[in-house]
Amino acid sequence: MRKIIEFFVRNPLFSDLLTVFVIGVGIVSAFLIRREAFPVITFDIVQVTALWPGSSSADIEKLITNPIEQDLQEVDGIDKLQSTSIENMSVVAIFLDPDETTDKEGKDDVQDVIDKLEDYPTEAEKPNVFLLDSSRAPIIEVTIASDDLTDLELREKARDLEKEIERIPGVAKVVHKGLRDLEVRVEISPQRLSHYRLSLQEVVSALSQQNVSIPGGIIEPKDLNSPERLVRTVGEFNNLDDIRNTVIRANDLGRPIEVKDVAKVYYDLEKAEVVHRTNGKKSLSLTILKQEFADAINVVDAVKDKMETLHGGLLSGLDVASINDMSEYVRRRLGVLTGNMAIGLSLILLFLPILVPFRFALVISLGLPMAFLGTVFILYNTGVSINLLTMMGLIIVSGILVDDSIVVTENAARLVDEGKSPRDAAIEGTAQIAPALVASVMTTAFAFLPMMFMSGIMGKFIKFIPLAILIALMISLFEAFFILPSHVANWIRFSKDGSHKPGFMDRFYGPIRKNWDDFLIPRYMKLIRKAVEHRYWILAGAF
């Protein structure tokens, strides 16, 4: 290690260029790195989704869900299966055992099974296999409220707003709440039924008999290479006029009696199961999900800009509000992180010159932004985002990043005062305390290292805290061992006799440092001597 330290000290240009490089790429990475609330992780669940338009839930279960479940029994590493069969769609959730397989291996095994399915309905769409993860996380919720519009009008406004938001770059999906589906209402008049001598059951039977989709069996080809074909009888209604023109029966004169003769047919909203209100007004809400590699803050800002743009048009007369804004948490944590770094630098430059010359404090302060920006550079290039967890790790470690730099610089300054040349003092001072410094940093690193190996979903989240801490600690240690000695030896001005040449700030801090050396240090040394003399009592008191 001593030879490496000597190389950096005797090649100051290389050290300076490396410093500029780390800070430069760190600043660039800080602008490019993805910012989000939580990191993207997988949940050890593989989902298979198959669509078969026009099929019943019974057909879905028999021809799609059951065969998939049976074939998946051969796959290793599956903890359990859950399936749902509804009209037009089958969903099979495969819960993986993380102790037996990885997410990627489990997904690949499931995909192999799906690709080899036999007797799969040709009319059905090819099943989609994907891992459930946290990539499409909600980032903001937008509500529109009004008591002046009808429910249908408010629904149309929400639909139009949904289309506008989906066009925003970085938006993956918009999920609506309180947006009731349209349904067809057939409002039968009792008087008209009596007039035509009809019963309610006759109307219901006529509608049900002419709105059908019935499987008709399977056509088996003689050629074994040809696919099987399903036969289905389809007679579904396509619009309101189809319902209105449905014949119930003929009257005594042979004239057909249609549904429109006895009922009003119109669209209406389904019955509300939950009432949504915002600030006392009926409302609908849209939850925006971002794409996996989109920046949460940029997407939220784009959504808010779009809302401002539409305020005088589409959203005119509506009360618009943004709630559950996850980007606010990211902004606050970023504010805490940058604030900690600014306060740390200020305290270093304000109080450290009391103990060491100001230029030494200036050199020490360079280690803090270098550690932060170097960490951001590594996180960006490894695909890790700036999120609440990585920022928490950086906030935790921010108070100890310059400790090693302070120790190295102080020891080098001591050797200069003893008569060594600046270069020899920087090399010797660093080499003397290297083992103790490594042990100190490793003690801190090992305290957080077990968090990297926690299992389960929580472990996948938590590991980003120690990841940021360990990267920052290693960069800080590298800077203190190799770059800092070069700066101490080559950036600080020394007199011909080897002593530090004071500058303006040193003349300002000189009286304070003299009082520190003359008043506090002797009393502190006296206290230490007494503590050593009564070491057993001190140790007993510590417990």
Domain ranges of the chain: 2-32+329-501, 42-133, 138-181+273-324, 182-269, 504-543
Residue 319 contacts residue 279 (beta carbons within 8 Å):
yes
B/e letters for 174-184, b = 16+ CB within 10 Å, e = fewer, are beeebbbeeee
Give 330's Cβ-side CA count (13 Å radius).
22
With 0-12 CB in 10 A as exposed, 13-18 as middle and 19+ as buried, what is 140?
A: buried
Q: Which of 178, 148, 161 is nearest to 313 (CA)?
A: 161
> SS3 of 509, please?
helix
Answer CATH for 2-32+329-501 from 1.20.1640.10, 1.10.150.120, 3.30.499.10, 3.30.2020.30: 1.20.1640.10
Q: What is the pTM of this model?
A: 0.74
The values of phi and psi at residue 285, to 5°, are -130, 150
pLDDT on residue 33: 93
Check for a shared fold between 42-133 and 138-181+273-324. Answer: yes
pLDDT along the chain (543 residues), means of 10: 87 92 95 89 87 85 89 86 89 87 86 85 85 82 87 86 90 83 82 84 82 61 61 66 83 80 81 77 88 89 90 82 89 89 86 78 88 94 91 89 87 83 87 91 91 85 93 94 89 61 64 74 87 86 77
Domain boundaries 42-133, CATH class? alpha beta
Domain boundaries 182-269, CATH class? alpha beta
Give the contacts of 14 (CB within 8 A, at least 6 positions apart). 7, 8
| Residue corresponding to tokens 């959203």 | 315
pLDDT on residue 503: 61
CA 430/CA 412 separation, integer angstroms: 7
CATH superfamily for 138-181+273-324 is Multidrug efflux transporter AcrB pore domain like (3.30.70.1320)
